[in-house]
């Protein structure tokens, strides 16, 4: 889609077409919605002023990249967004040369732009990195690490701050609004350049200092003071839905030849009235009816997240020392209910996983029982803090790891497959996993009593119901659910217990089933006993093979000089693509019927 050399009216019509296409497809497929609708005019402006195949276009998180995809040759294929073997919901260079970088986690964009700018300077090229970053991503420390260097190095780039939540400091009154408009104009920018040049060349240091102080006093009543103080020029706020103002401002910023932040105010969900404004549930959506705005529910089963939230709420009612934190995912993790009930004991600290972990470490030292509720994929961002601030001190912090395993349509950047591997080798860490709703509740009771760091993982969506009675957790104790008469032992961990149980139903022989419960510490005594009865062990866990459950058991077998044939059905050494969870599992050969066939083939 060509947006170059179009009139303002033609560009407005293009924006309308893009919005209608997004609403139509996302209402049927699901996907990121309100954030991407709010970024339509900004994206069209970017493509009008810059060239995505020449200038690096870097979208922070990239959940707002749907208009970009539509402009860059993916109008027809947009039907497949987030579907198996279809378009990714995020930017992906393998998909298009217009996508500069893979992005699914927040607050990486300015660092990427600085790296690109350094390379551009070394190669002596005339390219300008262009960043679009939301105000939510500005809550992460990595952004300020990048701005700190950028303000010193002064690499040319344009950073579009898409402010759709008004979490950047609000301007004060009519005077500030007027000054912000002046700051966005060519007169002010040109005047500033001329004054700076005159002062540098003709006036003593005292006059320069005075002039700067006068300018700073004006900037104090605008939102840009923090960026100017860091050495990055600021323009705005501008109307992020006024295509003419956006283009004029971006052209000005492009020609300044230095780092510039363009602050644009936008409305989330712009163009679809029901979703407009601060409605978190319209950020990422499933299919919905475009006329009524009602979501199309696929399942009435209670999710593991809901079970966790209620169980934690029950604990909080019983114990005053229970506290908790999430990093910008209150509704996604279910902790929003606890924040509402106990606002002084449960917090959303924004996109700041490192801070979340370390702050809770201090609370544990003070005698509280912190629960850090976080997606598996985002826990990666707080790894050093887990090692240095929690485990080294052996503090009883609980990591409630949501979205463990395959998460579906978000794909490679969000699959929750690595947490066992990167937590298992940390001293003092306890790793356990429930198999169903009842054992999840018991796991939280156990975690409250634990005196060391403890991580509990559970899947996205609902557990598969199982016909086994739940018993309390004891550290390092597995549970033999069924004592089979064949030589096969199925070992399940967490949600893997259900897959093991379902697979066993395809066999005519009587297969033993073990719920491992703990991958650290292992139930070594029980495993020794089982090795004398069952010669073929099969591992079922929604986790990476390297460093996973199978690795833990192999290490144990090697140490004890025990010989059994072991096969693991964990994920191979790949990044797992997006798509419906069942379709993804089928592509990996992990559906119960497929596993049965694999076992039969290996035994023949």
Catalytic positions are 268, 353, 381
Torsion (CA) 566, 567, 571, 573 in degrees, nearest 10 = 70
The structure tokens 């801070």 sit at: 355
Nearest one of 103, 101, 106, 105 to 116, comparing CA atoms: 101
Specify whether the CB–CB gap between 3 and 48 falls below 8 A. Answer: yes
Q: In this structure, what are the phi and psi dihedrals at residue 488, rounded to the nearest 5 degrees?
A: -95, 140
Q: Please choose, from the candidates 267, 255, 261, 232, the residue with its C-alpha nearest in 3D space to the C-alpha of residue 126.
A: 255
CA-to-CA dists, residue 513 to 241, 433, 482, 503, 552, angstroms = 59, 16, 5, 11, 18
- Tell me the residue ranges of DSSP E strands in 426-493: 430-432, 454-457, 479-482, 488-492
Residue 65 CA to residue 69 CA, distance in Å, equals 6
Exposed/middle/buried for 321, CB within 10 Å: 0-12, 13-18, 19+?
middle
Query: Which bin fits 204, alpha (ψ -120 to 50), beta or left (φ > 0)?
Result: beta
- Backbone φ and ψ for 155, nearest 5 degrees, come out as -70, 135
User: How far, in Å, are 72, 477, 579 from residue 444 at the CA level?
Assistant: 48, 16, 31
Q: In whole angstroms, how far apart are CA 261 and each of 45, 163, 221, 515?
A: 15, 12, 17, 54
Contact indicator for 414, 378 with CB cutoff of 8 Å: no
- Classify 181 in phi/psi space as left (phi over 0), alpha (psi -120 to 50) or beta: alpha
Distance CA 390, CA 411 (A): 30
- Tell me if the bond preceding 553 is cis, omega within 30° of 0: no
Helix (H, G, I), strand (E, B) or coil at 305: helix
């Amino acid at each position: 889609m060509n947006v170059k050399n179009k009139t303002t009216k033609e560009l407005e019509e293009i924006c309308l077409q893009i919005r209608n296409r997004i609403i139509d497809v996302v209402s049927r497929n699901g996907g990121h919605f309100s954030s991407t609708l709010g970024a339509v005019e900004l994206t069209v402006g970017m493509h009008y002023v810059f060239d995505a195949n020449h200038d690096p276009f870097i979208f922070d998180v990239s959940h707002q990249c749907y208009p970009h995809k539509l402009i860059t040759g993916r109008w027809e294929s947009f039907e497949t967004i987030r579907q198996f073997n279809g378009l990714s919901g995020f930017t992906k260079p393998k998909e298009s040369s217009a996508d500069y970088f893979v992005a699914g986690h927040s607050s990486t964009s300015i660092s990427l732009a600085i790296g690109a700018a350094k390379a551009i300077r070394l190669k002596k090229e005339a390219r300008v990195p262009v960043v679009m970053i939301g105000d939510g991503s500005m809550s992460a420390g990595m952004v300020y690490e990048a701005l700190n260097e950028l303000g010193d190095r002064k690499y040319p780039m344009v950073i579009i701050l898409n402010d759709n939540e008004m979490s950047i400091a609000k301007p004060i009154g009519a005077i500030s609004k007027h000054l912000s408009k002046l700051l966005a104009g060519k007169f002010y920018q040109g005047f500033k350049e001329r004054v700076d040049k005159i002062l540098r060349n003709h006036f003593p240091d005292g006059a320069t200092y005075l002039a700067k102080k006068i300018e700073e006093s004006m900037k104090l009543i605008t939102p840009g003071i923090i960026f100017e103080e860091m050495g990055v020029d600021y323009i705005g706020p501008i109307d992020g839905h006024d295509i003419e103002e956006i283009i004029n401002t971006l052209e000005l910023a492009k020609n300044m030849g230095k780092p510039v932040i363009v602050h644009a105010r936008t409305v989330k969900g712009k163009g679809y009235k029901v979703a407009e404004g601060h409605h978190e549930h319209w950020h990422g959506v499933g299919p919905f009816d475009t006329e009524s705005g009602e979501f199309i529910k696929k399942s009435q089963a209670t999710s593991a997240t809901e079970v966790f939230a209620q169980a934690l709420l029950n604990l909080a009612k019983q114990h005053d020392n229970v506290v908790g934190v999430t990093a910008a995912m209150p509704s996604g993790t279910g902790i929003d209910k606890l924040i509402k009930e106990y606002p002084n004991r449960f917090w959303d600290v924004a996109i700041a996983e490192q801070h979340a972990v370390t702050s809770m470490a201090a609370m544990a030292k003070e005698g509280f029982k912190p629960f850090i509720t976080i997606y598996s994929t985002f826990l990666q961002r707080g790894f050093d803090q887990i090692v240095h601030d929690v485990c080294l001190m052996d503090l009883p912090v609980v990591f409630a790891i949501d979205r463990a395993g395959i998460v579906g349509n978000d794909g490679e950047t969000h699959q929750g497959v690595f947490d066992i591997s990167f937590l298992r080798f940390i001293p003092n860490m306890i790793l356990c996993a429930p198999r169903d709703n009842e054992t999840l509740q018991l796991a939280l009771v156990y975690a409250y009593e634990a005196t060391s760091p403890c991580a509990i993982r559970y899947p996205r969506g609902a557990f598969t119901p199982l016909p086994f009675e739940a018993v309390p957790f004891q550290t390092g104790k597995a549970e033999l659910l069924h004592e089979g008469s064949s030589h096969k032992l199925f070992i399940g961990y967490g949600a893997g217990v259900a897959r093991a149980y379902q697979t066993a139903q395809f066999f005519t022989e009587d297969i033993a089933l073990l719920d491992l419960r703990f991958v650290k510490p292992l139930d070594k005594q029980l495993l020794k006993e089982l090795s004398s009865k069952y010669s073929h062990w099969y591992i079922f866990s929604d986790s990476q093979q390297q460093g996973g459950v199978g690795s833990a058991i192999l290490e144990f077998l090697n140490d004890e000089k025990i010989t059994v044939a072991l096969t693991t059905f964990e994920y191979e050494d790949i990044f797992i693509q997006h798509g419906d969870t069942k379709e993804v599992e089928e592509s990996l050969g992990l559906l119960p019927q497929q596993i049965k066939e694999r076992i039969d083939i290996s035994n023949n």
